[in-house]
């Protein structure tokens, strides 16, 4: 489960394109930040995606990826040309291909590596879909199959691209747009696959072409309902419209931390066996197994793209750090896995995240003012840093990651010195005890 949104230039404060995404996956499915430089390849070479090999191109772009550690593809990322893409699981009536194939995350990385604009990326992803289809297990701790939706953006604009098997539709974004775990394109689109309507008519999903609606005809109602994608998409679009004309990086970060109208200073994320918010927290039950495991906000301006990455779970407990593709990432330690390892950025932050969850209402108030202050300091320095040499940007990114890591350590020490004031629900405690056991984490 995930949420992705974009605001193009006519809807933002400074005319830049603002992109944001939360990746929601298994609570122990560590997210990895990865920077890959522009690379030349030999003629006839192959590239191994998550499950299958594809012909490699002669040269691939430099890319920044935020990805589940175990797969080749990525949930979100950017390239050196100012192209950003995020993907969403969508649940459809079209049968899922369970044999190993291309995952939606593979489509995303291939497009970032091989194209320069949103239009080019859309064309390539359509070609890949129609040539290879999509299929294979997308789950970490258990088998999970789905189709994919994408939000593709560059400095000029954006596309929504949603699929059901080899069927698809694409909609050009006019001002603000969000996608979630639901087919969101209805009766209006700018491009579509050849047999999108006729296939639905053939299956009896609608009576005639006049009543055809991609979302209504192709969506699997049960999985779409319990995934709560429609509600989360409404939340993000309402907030985007509310801030239309004033959307900036800070607005995007706050939106990724949204817990819905029900949240207040006494809100408990682990309450109930149902519940899914933009900033998603796992808990007990089959439909509460997803957790926001990584977040990204991109500010796309001509020649001055800045990508804000958490590299850690739960944006409400994380700090966004600035990254530029030309200056790279600092040393983040070993690559994370599904097993606890304090030497990794992701798992080190999990110590804080999981301690906050033990008394969320109290402990989030202990860290959120400092979190916001640190990010505000980072943001305030960007206008001065953005035009500096690569070495200056590189040093600044390293400094930001270091300050964030130090803050996380200090917050953890501070909250552990205070007793739990509001015990979390029993089923939530059981769920997280099991998550820790699976990760071999012993708090």
- Residue 382's closest CA among 302, 312, 304? 304
pLDDT of residue 302: 83
From first CA to last CA, the distance across the chain in angstroms is 27
Greatest distance between any 2 Cα atoms in the chain: 65
User: What residues make up the domain containing 193?
Assistant: 2-313
Query: What is the side-by-side order of every strand in the sheet holding 76-79?
Result: 31-36, 63-68, 76-79, 84-90, 147-153, 158-164, 167-172, 191-192
Q: Which two tokens stand for residue 221?
A: 């109602």
Total tally of structural domains belonging to the chain: 1
CATH number at residue 104: 3.60.60.10
Burial code of 423-437, b = ≥16 C-beta within 10 A, e = fewer?
ebbebbbebbeebbe
Decide if 332 is inside a domain: no
Decide if 347 is inside a domain: no
Decide if 54 is inside a domain: yes
Decide if 398 is inside a domain: no
User: Which DSSP string corresponds to 339-393?
Assistant: S--TTSHHHHHHHHHHHHHTTHHHHHHHHHHHHHHHHHHHHHHHHHHTTS-HHHH
Catalytically annotated residue among 2, 217, 279, 400: 2
5 phi and psi angles, rounded to 5 deg: -145, 165
Are 179 and 162 spatial neighbours (Cβ–Cβ below 8 Å)? yes
Please, what sign has the CA dihedral across residues 310, 311, 316, 317? negative
pLDDT of residue 263: 67
pTM over 0.85: yes
DSSP, res 406: H
Looking up tokens 């258990």 gives 142
Decide if 404 is inside a domain: no
Contacts 24+ apart (CB under 8 A), 251-254: 251/18, 252/5, 252/7, 252/18, 252/19, 252/20, 252/297, 253/20, 253/297, 253/308, 253/315, 253/320, 253/375
Cα 194 off chain centre by: 30
pLDDT of residue 383: 94
pLDDT of residue 209: 86
Residues 6+ apart with CB under 8 A from 309: 33, 64, 66, 294, 295, 296, 320, 321, 323
Q: Which two tokens stand for residue 53?
A: 């090999």
Are 181 and 227 spatial neighbours (Cβ–Cβ below 8 Å)? yes
pLDDT tens digit sequence for 61-70: 999 999 999 9
Decide if 37 is inside a domain: yes
User: Which DSSP string corresponds to 232-257?
Assistant: HHHHHHHHHHHTTT-B-HHHHHHHHT
Task: Report the distance separating Cα 31 and Cα 48, nearest Å.
Answer: 20
Q: Is 2 a catalytic residue?
A: yes
pLDDT of residue 270: 84
Q: Which two tokens stand for residue 261?
A: 């109208």
Burial code of 56-65, b = ≥16 C-beta within 10 A, e = fewer?
bbeebbbbbb
Which is it for strands 176-179 and 167-172: parallel, antiparallel or unpaired?
A: unpaired
Are 295 and 21 spatial neighbours (Cβ–Cβ below 8 Å)? yes
pLDDT tens string, the chain, 443 residues long: the values are: 789 999 999 999 999 999 999 999 999 999 999 999 999 999 999 999 999 999 999 999 999 999 999 999 999 999 999 999 999 999 999 999 999 999 999 999 999 999 999 999 999 999 999 999 999 999 999 999 999 999 999 999 999 999 999 999 999 999 999 999 999 999 999 999 999 999 999 999 998 888 999 999 999 988 787 778 888 999 999 999 999 999 999 999 999 999 987 667 778 888 876 767 999 999 998 788 999 999 999 999 987 899 999 999 999 999 999 999 999 999 999 999 999 999 999 999 999 999 999 999 999 999 999 999 999 999 999 999 999 999 999 999 999 999 999 999 999 999 999 999 888 899 999 999 999 999 999 98
Decide if 29 is inside a domain: yes
Decide if 213 is inside a domain: yes
pLDDT tens digit sequence for 172-228: 999 999 999 999 999 999 999 999 999 999 999 998 888 999 999 999 988 787 778
């Amino acid at each position: 489960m995930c949420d992705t949104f974009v605001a193009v230039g006519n809807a933002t404060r400074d005319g830049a394109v603002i992109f944001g995404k939360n990746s929601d996956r298994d609570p122990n499915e560590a997210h990895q930040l990865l920077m890959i430089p522009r690379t030349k390849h030999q003629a006839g070479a192959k590239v191994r995606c998550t499950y299958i090999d594809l012909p490699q191109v002669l040269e691939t772009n430099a890319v920044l990826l935020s990805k589940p550690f175990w797969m080749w593809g990525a949930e979100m990322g950017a390239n050196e040309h100012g192209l950003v893409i995020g993907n969403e699981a969508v649940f459809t009536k079209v049968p899922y291909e369970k044999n190993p194939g291309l995952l939606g995350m593979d489509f995303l990385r291939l497009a970032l590596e091989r194209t320069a604009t949103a239009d080019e990326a859309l064309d390539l992803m359509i070609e890949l879909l129609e040539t290879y289809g999509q299929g294979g297990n997308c789950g970490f701790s258990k088998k999970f199959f789905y189709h994919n939706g994408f939000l593709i953006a560059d400095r000029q604009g954006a596309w929504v691209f949603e699929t059901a098997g080899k069927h698809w539709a694409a909609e050009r974004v006019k001002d603000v747009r969000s996608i979630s775990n639901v087919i969101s394109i209805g009766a209006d689109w700018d491009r579509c696959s050849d047999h999108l309507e006729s296939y639905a008519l053939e299956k009896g999903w609608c009576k005639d072409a006049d009543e055809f609606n991609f979302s209504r005809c192709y969506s699997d109602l049960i999985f779409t309902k319990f995934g709560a994608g429609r509600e989360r998409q409404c939340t993000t679009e309402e907030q985007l419209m509310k801030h239309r004309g004033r959307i900036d990086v800070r607005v995007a970060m706050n939106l990724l931390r949204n817990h819905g109208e029900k949240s207040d200073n006494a809100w408990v994320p682990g309450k109930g066996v149902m519940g899914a918010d933009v900033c998603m927290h796992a808990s007990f039950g089959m439909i509460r197994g997803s957790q926001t495991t990584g977040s990204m906000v991109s500010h796309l301006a001509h020649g001055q793209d800045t990508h804000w990455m958490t590299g850690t779970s739960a944006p409400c407990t994380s700090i966004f750090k600035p990254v530029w593709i030309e200056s790279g990432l600092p040393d983040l330690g070993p690559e994370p896995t599904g097993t606890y390892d304090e030497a990794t950025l992701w798992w080190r932050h999990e110590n804080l995240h999981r301690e906050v969850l033990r008394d969320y209402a109290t402990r989030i108030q202990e860290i959120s003012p400092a979190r916001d202050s640190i990010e505000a300091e980072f943001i305030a320095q960007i206008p001065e840093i953005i035009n500096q040499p690569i070495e200056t940007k590189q040093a600044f990114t390293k400094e930001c990651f270091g300050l964030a890591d130090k803050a996380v350590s200090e917050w953890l020490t501070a909250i552990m010195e205070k007793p739990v004031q509001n015990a979390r629900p029993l089923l939530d405690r059981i769920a997280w005890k099991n998550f820790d056991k699976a990760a071999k984490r012993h708090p």
